[in-house]
């Protein structure tokens, strides 16, 4: 004999009378879950696709990808870096010295004497130096304003002039 409680359990598709097998409703619930999950996955893919289309060649929307060389100086917000943990060199570097270094690096890169990635790996005060300066993709509002504006203004492959931020001075190469 089936009790009223067992009927309620069956109605919700949890178990049959002996509790060993799922009720037919379970298969329907699983099917619904898979359908909804697939629908959500498709929606997420569509959003990423549309977001990518919003990004124009000059990067006015969507995401960009960039690499940079950062030289910190005495006026930088944090006077330590991955390669100068105590900040001894940074504390003794003027902004003008940092700018001169970056200008020389930029000229060497443009003249083909060095690659951007090599300069970043050897001289950048940012931990991204370990990746040749690559910051990965980012959108608006994720970087300091002067850095963001300079990056979004560049065309892919272009290298910026000197960019000042609270972190120090940079040259930026837009890669995507």
- Residue from 20, 73, 144, 160 carrying the catalytic annotation: 144
| Spatial separation of the C-alpha atoms in residues 66 and 64, rounded to whole Å | 7
Is 126 among the catalytic positions?
A: yes
Nearest to 25 by CA among 8, 3, 1, 41: 8
Q: Is 73 a catalytic residue?
A: no
Cβ pair 90, 101 in contact under 8 A: no
Residue 5 tokens, joined? 């409680």
DSSP letter assigned to residue 130: G
76 a catalytic residue: no
Q: Which of 43, 57, 68, 81 is catalytic?
A: 68
Residue 144 catalytic?
yes
Residue 43 is among the residues annotated as catalytic for this protein: no
Dist. CA 67–CA 172, nearest whole Å = 6
Q: What is the DSSP code string of 31-66? A: HHHHHHHHHHHHHHHHHHHHHHHH--TT-SSSEEEE
Contact present, 66 and 120 (Cβ < 8 Å)? no
**Which one is catalytic: 73, 76, 126, 128?**
126
Catalytic residue positions, numbered: 68, 126, 144, 167, 170
């Amino acid at each position: 004999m089936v009790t009223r409680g067992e009927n309620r359990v069956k109605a919700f598709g949890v178990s049959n009378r002996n509790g060993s097998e799922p009720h037919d409703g379970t298969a329907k619930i699983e099917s619904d879950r898979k359908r909804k999950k697939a629908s959500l996955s498709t929606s997420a893919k569509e959003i990423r696709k549309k977001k990518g289309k919003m990004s124009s060649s000059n990067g006015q929307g969507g995401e960009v990808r960039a690499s940079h060389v950062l030289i910190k100086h005495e006026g930088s917000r944090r006077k330590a870096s991955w390669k100068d943990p105590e900040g001894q060199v940074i504390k003794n570097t003027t902004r003008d010295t940092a700018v001169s270094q970056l200008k020389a690096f930029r000229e060497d890169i443009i003249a083909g004497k060095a690659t951007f990635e090599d300069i970043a790996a050897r001289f950048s005060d940012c931990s991204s130096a370990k990746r040749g300066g690559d910051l990965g993709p980012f959108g608006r509002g994720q970087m300091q304003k002067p850095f963001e504006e300079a990056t979004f203004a560049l065309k892919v492959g272009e290298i910026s002039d000197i960019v000042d931020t609270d972190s120090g001075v940079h040259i930026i190469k837009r890669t995507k």
